[in-house]
Amino acid sequence: MANERIPVVIVAGFLGSGKTTLLNHLLRNNRGARIGVIVNDFGAVNIDSMMVAGQVDSMVSLSNGCLCCAVDVADMDAMLDRLAHRASDIDVIVVEASGLAEPRNMIRLVVGSGNEYVGYGGLVLVVDGAGFGGTRERHPELDQHVALADLVLLNKTDRIDGDVHDELLETLCRLNDRAAIVSTVHGRIDPALLFDIPERPEPQPGEQLSLDQLLYEEHDGEHTHLHDGYDAVDFDSPVPLHPRALVGFLEDQPAGVFRIKGYVHVVAGGRTRTYLLHTVGDHIRFDPVRRTGDAPATTRLVVIGADLDPDAVRARLAACVPTEPVPADAMLAVHRFTPR
């Protein structure tokens, strides 16, 4: 897509919740996506799997200090600049915050970045299902961290029984009723929930598989299973949408949505404009598409999350199709979310 920015996904969570396990899982199951990594230190990251995937170059570490407190926007930008630049071939950047990191600060560092090639990719909060009660008692701020998350991974569900699992889901929904919540064991989620999987040509019969493809094939059974954990709902409209109605939908998304992306045509005052839309949680961004031919002729969105009701999502979007002429000032709703 034109104007694509590299999403920066922040992985946070208290000590031992499973952040590094998740990161290693993503690196092993990258399905061809090139992942840049920012970590406090490389100690626990599986360098072997990175080398196999040919990604060992795309890591940046903060050799001293803590990603949450010692780093300001300039420091973060210095790290991002090494990964995201004009010649960069990275598809996504994952920042693993230290166990003590303050997620609000991490979001600020990424959203405030001056690097024009990156965009906010969401706060993924890893929660230790088995230790949730105890962690909450020791660190009451955990509730705020859950409330800030765009995606909550309820991890270590192999260590809890069904009733506890249900109670935890209820508590997490109470603390954050808009985030996608996914239950995991050893952080095994489908990476397509977090970021786009680049389209790679299918190998022809007899052609050798690349290392990435070999890794993917090896884990194919797991992938099929992983895919059950998330939903992707397509929406197409040949008619341009009402900008204010669309923004109303984006500001009040159905529960469980993690991200939305695609091209939208919106109309107001008889004039149609085209944008590349990206949302993660309540971070909304409309990038104007200036050249005709860069976008499909119709609105085409994909809504990605967990436990989505596809018919309900499509019905809400279909309700954004105007039934009468839209006044010109309705476009202001979109302008609030276009880059300056």
Complex with ligand GTP: residue 57 or 158, whichever CB lies closer: 158
Q: Which stretch binds ligand GTP (CB under 6 A): 180-188, 192-200, 204-212, 275-283?
A: 180-188
Contact flag: residue 185 with ligand GTP (CB under 6 A): yes
Contact flag: residue 209 with ligand GTP (CB under 6 A): no
Complex with ligand GTP: residue 44 or 331, whichever CB lies closer: 44
Residue in 6, 9, 12, 19 binding ligand GTP, rule: CB under 6 A: 19
Q: Which stretch binds ligand GTP (CB under 6 A): 61-69, 79-87, 153-161, 205-213?
A: 153-161
Sheet holding 92-96, edge to edge: 59-61, 35-39, 92-96, 6-12, 118-128, 151-155, 180-183
Give the Å distances, CA to CA, from 281 to 20, 102, 210, 221, 277: 23, 18, 35, 30, 13
Contact flag: residue 159 with ligand GTP (CB under 6 A): yes
**Pairing assessment for the beta strands 59-61 and 92-96 based on DSSP bridges:** unpaired
Residue in 15, 78, 214, 328 binding ligand GTP, rule: CB under 6 A: 15
141, 150 Cβ separation under 8 angstroms: no
Contact flag: residue 18 with ligand GTP (CB under 6 A): yes
Complex with ligand GTP: residue 3 or 61, whichever CB lies closer: 61
Q: Which stretch binds ligand GTP (CB under 6 A): 1-9, 16-24, 212-220, 267-275?
A: 16-24
Residues 6+ apart with CB under 8 A from 221: none
CA distance 18 to 60: 20
Complex with ligand GTP: residue 130 or 319, whichever CB lies closer: 130
CA distance 186 to 18: 7
CA distance 300 to 139: 43
Complex with ligand GTP: residue 18 or 103, whichever CB lies closer: 18
Among 123, 114, 125, 34, residue whose Cα is nearest residue 80:
114
Contact flag: residue 156 with ligand GTP (CB under 6 A): yes
CB atoms < 10 A from the CB of 16, how many?
Answer: 14
Contact flag: residue 44 with ligand GTP (CB under 6 A): yes
Site residues (CB under 6 A) for ligand GTP?
13, 15-21, 44, 99, 155-156, 158-159, 185-187
